[in-house]
Amino acid sequence: MDRLKILADGAKYDVSCSSSGSSRSNSGGVGSAASCGICHSWTSDGRCVSLLKILMTNRCIYDCAYCVNRRSNDVQRVALSPAEVAELTIGFYRRNYIEGLFLSTGVVRSADYTMELLIQAVRTLREQYRFNGYIHLKLVPGADPLLVQQAGLWADRVSVNLELPTRESLQLLAPDKSRDSVVGPMRQVSSLITANRAERKQSRKVARFAPAGQSTQLIVGATGESDRQIVTLSEQLYQRLELKRVYYSAFIPTVADTRLPARPEAPLRREHRLYQADWLLRYYGFAAHELLDEASPNLDSELDPKTGWALRHLELFPLEINRAGYEELLRVPGIGVRSAQRIIRARRQGHLGTDDLASLGVVMKRARYFVTARGRYAGDAGLDSNGLRSRLLDRPLQKRPVQLSLALEQPVRDETASLITGEL
Amino acid sequence: MSGCYCYDGTLAGLLSLYARLLAERVVVERISATPPDQQSLFSSEIYIATDQAVAEAFWQRLTRRLSSHSLKLLRHCLLADHPQQELLIYTYLLLEAEQGKRVDGMLAHPAVAPVWKLSQQVGREAHRYLGFVRFQQLQGGLYYAAIAPDHRILLLIGAHFAERFSDQQWVIHDQRHNEGILYDAEKKEWLLLPMELHAQPEITPQEIQFQQLWRSYFTTLAIPERRNLKLQQGKVPLKVRGYLTEFMA
């Protein structure tokens, strides 16, 4: 029990939590992976729990300044064997506590030896327990390309953490890791995924390689990089290496080190804005240079990046909701992917008015200033950058009295449910 | 002819009612489920008797006529636990009778929006319960899970668990609606049954150990510097915590 605690404690700073993007079906054993991903619980910091996130061991030969498990930090060192990891995963999984396993580790002896341990745990799960659930495996920087390839064949997702946005900061804070030892496996995985996709087009029998793709993590606020540098880096990772996700982790000092900034509070707001910008890159067709430029290299802490962009481009607004194209709709603050799709669908059956928009899921609090519906402008003030800005600022929500709805319990019993719903 | 209608509370009864009212495009104020023996008490309500044959014929016509999208909406709404779900569905069906498949896109229409919202609520709850089910291993090897969802979502999550835990015997028990799913690992089949709990299930020593492990793992996971109980409560409302191992003392 104590070992689990220590190893979970060491892994919790890895922010990747997703269990999506892979759909494995159950072929005789236990488990499946849902392509949408399933959260099973939420901790008291509000982060979701979807995977059993642990370290194989917290022993480490490296001495990275930001890491709890660094060699020079005085913590109790423990390890789990591959068999123990597998047993624990299955026990939790069968009780539906988790969606799968996220296995990371400190580096023991050598990168290759450590990588082999990880692979062994995953193989035990897949072969011995016939486990079809989701597995996210960390690649150890500097591991042999052959091992990297094997890892991708057993896992759903693999990742190497970039940790620091630039070569220089990595050199400063993680002197044992080189940028190349991190980017090398990333490149390899990227090309293996591409090759695997092509092969699977030829024949479905070819085994999947990392079907949920690869991700990485950046620590934000430990070094002096600007948001512009970070967002531009992410854009390149998405475009060139086709990463599925880049995670951002607000730097929380876990060990004292003179190389690290003294920070009373973790830059959580900044992390949040980076995630918003990241979403704009991946789903909204924005480019990094549209969100940030040399004149303003950091994201506005008071406004979300899309609203910020819109305020800088008032010449494009207001947009007529009944005529605008999908890509244009996506750029309106308050309209997301879903509501944009709904607008397109709903307006085929007739023109939409402002009242309709709210029921389609548009956040009118923001959108009203940027759209017209049937030619009518819904904002209560004109399109003027300064006035709008103050209206749109993120303020804590005021609690307004709402009508209480009395739900009368009405039991509906039926025996024919199974017949009608066609489930049985 | 307009007014308040009631039926015997079964799905077949509801479908018989829809068949009758839709044929004449009756304007309806209220539809409620009333146990048959009480009908005289509600003299202002018109009771429509259940006719199994009519119900089945009507359902078959409906499934052929409606798009898969509309069917999914209705199916979710039928499983909802809402004071007016019957009337909402009726209003939707009236519009559908008039507009045909066009209703699919009329998301903002006053007859469609509430049905769609309710269906979304049910669908969302069903998805959340893919995560919120906690099995306990009982003496004898059965995995038992108790839940108390707002809506009757068992039919929506059964297939997921049947695939995922195809090699273990399990039961998911909806204690609010007194029904449950029983999965038979040998026949690979699951059944929705009326269900009541008479005694606390006996769990295995191994189960106790796994529950302790899970609780201690769960508490370790939180990063104190990021504490955000409001966010957590939005995601895991208090009403479900009584059923989640990690929140039990």
Q: What digits encode the pLDDT tens for the residues B135-186?
A: 999 998 999 999 999 999 999 999 999 999 999 999 999 999 999 999 998 8
CB A246 within 8 A of CB A237: yes
**Per-residue pLDDT averaged across A131-141, rounded?**
95
Q: Determine whether the interchain pair B108/A4 forms a contact, defined as Cβ–Cβ distance below 8 Å.
A: no
Question: Nearest CA to A140 among A86, A176, A168?
Answer: A176
Which of A13, A29, A96 shows the shortest C-beta gap to B167?
A29
Query: For A42, which residue in chain B has the nearest alpha carbon?
Result: B232
| Residue type for position B95 | L
Q: Tell me the shortest Cα–Cα distance from A194 to chain B, in angstroms.
A: 29
Backbone angles phi, psi at B46, to 5 degrees: -95, 125
Question: Which helix (H) or strand (E) is A169 found in, with range?
Answer: helix A167-173
Is residue A95 less than 8 Å (CB to CB) from chain B? Answer: yes
The two tokens of residue A383 are 């399109």
Interface of A with B in 21-50 (CB under 8 A): 25-26, 28-32, 34, 36, 38-50
pLDDT of residue B9: 87
Q: Determine whether the interchain pair B33/A44 forms a contact, defined as Cβ–Cβ distance below 8 Å.
A: no
Q: Per-residue DSSP letters for A15-83?
A: ------S--B--SSSB--B-TT----EE-TTS-EE-EEEEESB---S---TT-TT-TTS-----B--HH
Is the confidence at residue A408, as pLDDT, over 50? Answer: no
Q: Determine whether the interchain pair B33/A252 forms a contact, defined as Cβ–Cβ distance below 8 Å.
A: no
Distance CA A104, CA A53 (A): 8
Which of B9, B102, B214 shows the shortest C-beta gap to A92?
B214
Is residue B210 less than 8 Å (CB to CB) from chain A? Answer: yes
Residue pLDDT, tens place only, B52-90: 999 999 999 999 999 999 999 999 999 999 988 999 999
Residue of B54, B107, B143, B209 to mutate when probing chain A, most A C-beta within 10 A: B107
Is the confidence at residue A267, as pLDDT, over 90? Answer: no
The two tokens of residue B104 are 């699919």
Is residue B243 less than 8 Å (CB to CB) from chain A? Answer: no
CB A105 within 8 A of CB A140: yes
Question: Nearest CA to A415 among A405, A406, A403, A424?
Answer: A424
**Per-residue pLDDT averaged across A215-234, rounded?**
93
- Of A22-26, A38-42, A87-91, which gets the smallest average pLDDT? A22-26
Is residue B242 less than 8 Å (CB to CB) from chain A? Answer: no
Q: How far is CA A406 from CA B7, B16, B84, B188, B234, in A?
A: 22, 28, 11, 41, 21
Is residue A271 less than 8 Å (CB to CB) from chain B? Answer: no
What confidence category does residue A26 fall into, taking pLDDT thresholds of 50, 70 and 90? confident
The two tokens of residue A46 are 């509000």
Question: Nearest CA to B35 among B45, B25, B27, B26?
Answer: B45
Is the confidence at residue A198, as pLDDT, over 50? Answer: yes
pLDDT of residue B42: 52
- ipTM, interface predicted TM-score of the complex: 0.91
pTM of the model: 0.88
Strands (E), chain B: 2-7, 27-33, 46-47, 136-137, 143-147, 170-174, 179-184, 189-194
Q: Per-residue DSSP letters for A222-279?
A: SS---HHHHHHHHHHHHHHS--SEEEEEE----S--TTSPP-SS--HHHHHHHHHHHH
Name the DSSP letter for residue A202.
H
Q: What is the mean pLDDT of chain B?
A: 91
Is the confidence at residue B2, as pLDDT, over 80? Answer: no
CB pairs under 8 A between A and B: 201
**Per-residue pLDDT averaged across A312-317, rounded?**
92
Distance CA A140, CA A119 (A): 11
pLDDT of residue A260: 82
- Of A41-45, A285-289, A386-390, A401-405, which gets the smallest average pLDDT? A401-405
**Per-residue pLDDT averaged across B244-248, rounded?**
93
Q: Is the peptide bond before B149 cis (omega within 30 degrees of 0)?
A: no
Which of A8, A412, A418 shows the shortest C-beta gap to B33?
A412
Percent of residues, chain A, with pLDDT higher than 70:
92
What confidence category does residue A401 fall into, taking pLDDT thresholds of 50, 70 and 90? low
Residue pLDDT, tens place only, B192-219: 999 988 888 889 999 999 999 999 999 9
Residue of B220, B238, B248 to mutate when probing chain A, most A C-beta within 10 A: B220
Distance CA B143, CA B172 (A): 9
**Number of other CB atoms surrounding residue A398 within 10 Å:** 5
Per the listing, tokens 């038979």 go with B184
Residue pLDDT, tens place only, B5-23: 989 888 999 999 999 999 9
pLDDT of residue B149: 96
CB B104 within 8 A of CB B71: no
Distance CA A353, CA B19 (A): 34
Q: Determine whether the interchain pair A45/B137 forms a contact, defined as Cβ–Cβ distance below 8 Å.
A: no
Question: Nearest CA to B63 among B102, B126, B15?
Answer: B15
Q: What is the mean pLDDT of chain A?
A: 87
Q: Which chain B residues touch A266 with a CB distance below 8 Å?
A: 225-226
Which of B83, B216, B222 shows the shortest C-beta gap to A45?
B222
Is residue A134 less than 8 Å (CB to CB) from chain B? Answer: no
Name the DSSP letter for residue B9.
S
Q: Determine whether the interchain pair A94/B83 forms a contact, defined as Cβ–Cβ distance below 8 Å.
A: no
